[in-house]
């Protein structure tokens, strides 16, 4: 038996690339969800009303401190018993987005805290309404600071997408597993999956590091 | 040039009447009482300067007026009305650290509040902003970001930004203290111009005694949260009565 079969590699590659598209799609949609929800949490955790702050804080802590895989199983197997059913990919995107939103919330919090208090004071001195202060002054400065940190969570999420295989999403890993199961050769597909992850994650992390240097005053 | 600058005198304000009034205002931070039943008034159109040692409560007074702090006791009236978010719109402030919005270009720093607070159209706000930026000598920097400007230029933008709201009172808190020495004069010249050519009321904290002498109608000497001496600049700088005032003046000169 050959240790590496190039023709078999060529044979499974199209399926793996199809899986890669699913992986990228899950990462992209999951990131958008995580960015938006995280911002909602971060703002909710700053409202003066503790009837908003406490429940949101509890939910965020709960999600952050349970494993992603457990959450995915919950969404995939438990929600349908309550009559709520999504496609596997949608379930995966919700799971990833929800899970990572608890981290992006923390990133936003740090970014918002990092805006100098003088910015708030200048906004007050100009009588800018609260909403306008957030939208035009605070968030643009806060988000600029946290772009690299958010980017690093996107990479982390990307590397977590194989967990979606556990809820039948045909991502890269699932494709590799199916190819392997068909031909009883796992070496090539699994290795290629690993390489594809490295090829994407490593340059992206270098990019984030460069961005961090550029934005870090 | 004077047409660019606020002249607003509302109908209920009689010229020369009181614009700012502190009535027995007390402010504490924890156990320390910074202002102790402070009384003072500033008349419409007058330029009043607060002097006094560091930590005597001068900034606290301006921050109370700007509603960045609330008094523990007593009350503050502006144009006869108790201070609230609506009345605050009559007040403008320039900070020691400029506090320009770094994510906005110079022009938008100056148009942002007139558009979103006063409801000016974009064109009106831009026209007003350009006039004011011209006046402070920065007509050529409309598209710059604050970080591309020197401290003195940033502070002049901050002055234009405050004036764009056409405030009745302008609060100035040591606006040249953070500047390199060679940039101080440019900022003070702009303020002298505004003091001379407009009828805006000014309440000014400064360690620039020559500037204070030039622009002030009245000087208040502060010590430990109380006004210990007040009068026209000739009197305070020329013949101070209080021993603390003499000590303070000789220390800053
Ligand atoms: N936010 C604050 N918390 C606690 N103490 C403060 C605060 N702001 C000012 N102080 C204290 O109040 C006193 C007066 O401060 P300030 O008004 O800034 O004086 P000045 O402007 O005359 O130098 C100082 O002793 C200062 O330490
Ligand atoms: Mg001060």
Report the complex ipTM. Answer: 0.91
Please state which CATH number belongs to domain B11-101+168-252.
Answer: 3.40.50.300
pLDDT of amino acid B17: 87
Is the pLDDT confidence value at A11 over 60? Answer: yes
Indicate the pLDDT class of residue B10, thresholds 50, 70 and 90.
Answer: very low
| Assigned token pair, B193 | 């111009």
- Stretch A13-27: mean pLDDT, rounded? 95
Looking up tokens 């159109």 gives B45
B22 interface with A at CB cutoff 8 Å? no
How much distance in Å is there from the Cα of B178 to the middle of ligand 2? Answer: 12
Distance from CA of A132 to the nearest CA of B (A): 8
**Reported confidence tier of residue B22, pLDDT bands at 50, 70, 90:** very high
Contact present, B7 and B199 (Cβ < 8 Å) = yes
3-state helix, strand, coil in chain B (%, to 5): 40, 25, 35
Query: CB–CB of B99 and A132 under 8 A?
Result: no
Please report the pLDDT score of residue A149 as a whole number.
Answer: 93
Position B9 scores a pLDDT of: 42
| 3-state class (DSSP) for residue B228 | strand
Residue B11 reports pLDDT greater than 80: no
pLDDT tens digits for range A38-87: 999 999 999 999 999 999 999 999 999 999 999 999 999 999 999 999 99
Give B100's contacts in chain A (Cβ within 8 Å).
122
Runs of H (alpha helix) within chain B: 58-65, 106-116, 122-135, 151-163, 181-197, 209-215, 233, 243-252
B87 Cβ under 8 Å from any chain A Cβ: no
Q: What is the pLDDT of residue B16?
A: 62
Give the start-to-end residue ranges of the domains of chain B. Answer: 11-101+168-252
Number of helical (H) and strand (E) elements in chain A, helices listed first:
9, 0
Residue range B56-73: mean pLDDT, rounded: 95
Question: Residues B123, A128, A106, A47: is their CA dihedral positive or negative?
Answer: negative
pLDDT of res. B12: 44
pLDDT of residue A23: 95
Q: CA-CA distance, B186 to B204, in Å (whole number)?
A: 17
Q: Which of B59, B63, B93, B96 maximizes ligand 1 atoms within 8 Å of its Cβ, making it the mutation to test the pocket?
A: B59
pLDDT digits (tens, 9 = 90+) for B170-216: 999 999 999 999 999 999 999 999 999 999 999 999 999 999 999 99
Domain ranges within chain A, ordered by starting residue: 6-216
User: Backbone phi, then psi, for B14, in 5-degree steps?
Assistant: -85, 135
- % of chain B exceeding 70 in pLDDT: 93
CATH of A6-216, one of 3.40.50.720, 1.10.3720.10, 3.20.20.140, 3.90.1170.50: 1.10.3720.10
For the stretch A106-130, pLDDT in tens is: 999 999 999 999 999 999 999 999 9
Q: Is the pLDDT of residue B3 over 60?
A: no
Would the pLDDT of A217 be above 90? no
């Amino acid at each position: 038996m050959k240790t590496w079969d190039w023709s078999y590699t060529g044979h499974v590659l199209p399926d793996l690339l199809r899986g890669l598209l699913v992986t990228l799609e899950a990462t992209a949609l999951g990131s958008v969800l995580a960015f938006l929800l995280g911002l909602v949490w971060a703002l909710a955790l700053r409202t003066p009303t503790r009837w908003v702050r406490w429940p949101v804080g509890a939910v965020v802590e709960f999600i952050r401190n349970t494993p992603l895989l457990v959450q995915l199983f919950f969404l995939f197997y438990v929600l349908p018993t309550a009559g709520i059913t999504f496609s596997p990919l949608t379930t995966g995107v919700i799971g990833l987005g929800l899970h990572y939103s608890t981290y992006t919330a923390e990133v936003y919090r740090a970014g918002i805290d990092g805006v100098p208090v003088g910015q708030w004071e200048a906004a007050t001195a100009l009588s800018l309404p609260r909403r306008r202060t957030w939208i035009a002054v605070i968030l643009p400065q806060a988000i600029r600071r946290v772009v690299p940190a958010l980017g690093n969570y996107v990479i982390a999420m990307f590397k977590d997408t194989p967990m979606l295989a556990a809820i039948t999403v045909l991502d890269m890993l699932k494709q590799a597993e199916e190819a392997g199961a068909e031909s009883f050769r796992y070496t090539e597909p699994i290795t290629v999956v690993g390489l594809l992850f490295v090829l994407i994650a490593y340059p992206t992390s270098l990019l984030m590091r460069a961005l961090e240097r550029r934005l870090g005053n | 040039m004077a047409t660019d600058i606020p002249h607003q005198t509302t109908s209920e304000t009689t010229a020369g009447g009181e614009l700012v009034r502190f009535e027995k205002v007390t402010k504490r931070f924890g156990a320390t009482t910074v202002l102790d039943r402070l009384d003072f008034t500033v008349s419409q159109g007058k330029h009043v300067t607060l002097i006094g040692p560091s930590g005597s409560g001068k900034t606290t007074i301006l921050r109370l007026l700007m509603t960045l702090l609330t008094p523990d006791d007593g009350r503050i009236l502006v144009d006869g009305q108790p201070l609230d978010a609506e009345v605050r719109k009559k007040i403008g402030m320039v900070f020691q650290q400029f506090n320009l919005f770094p994510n906005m270009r110079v022009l938008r720093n100056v148009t942002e509040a007139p558009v979103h607070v006063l409801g000016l159209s974009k064109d009106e706000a831009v026209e007003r902003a350009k006039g004011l930026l011209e006046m402070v000598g920065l007509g050529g920097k409309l598209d710059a970001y604050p970080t591309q400007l020197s401290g003195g230029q940033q502070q002049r933008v901050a002055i234009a930004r405050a004036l764009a709201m056409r405030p009745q009172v302008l609060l100035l808190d040591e606006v040249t203290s953070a500047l390199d020495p060679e940039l101080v004069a440019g900022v003070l010249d702009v303020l002298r111009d505004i003091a001379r050519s407009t009828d805006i009321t000014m309440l000014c904290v400064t360690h620039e005694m020559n500037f204070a002498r030039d622009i002030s109608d009245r000087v208040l000497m502060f010590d430990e949260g109380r006004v210990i001496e007040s009068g026209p600049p000739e009197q305070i700088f020329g013949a101070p009565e209080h021993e603390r005032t003499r000590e303070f003046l000789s220390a800053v000169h």
